[in-house]
Amino acid sequence: DHRDLHSFPTRRSSDLRRLMQSRDGQTLMQALTRPDNGVGLQRAVQAAMRGDTNVMAELVGRVAQSPEGAALMERISRSVEL
């Protein structure tokens, strides 16, 4: 249905907003910014804006290496439609 495609960016935006306001979203942001006061996250966002998502994937991958980070990523992926 074309209406679903038309509303996709809005739905994704609201999903992202809801995630970032959740406890897990806040925990993820802390994990992404803690090691270097957010410098790595800023670089990853800038690279993603240029079309290179590898830096962000690497950053998230580092979070998921710990058991707590892996559990966090699992909860987040279950809570959002991909």
pLDDT given for residue 80 in this prediction: 75
What confidence tens digit (pLDDT) does each residue in 34-52 have?
Answer: 989 999 999 999 999 999 9
Residue 56: pLDDT over 90: yes
In terms of Cβ atoms closer than 10 Å to its own Cβ (0-12, 13-18, 19+), residue 44 is buried
Cβ contact 32:64 at 8 Å? no
Q: What is the mean pLDDT of residues 18-31?
A: 93
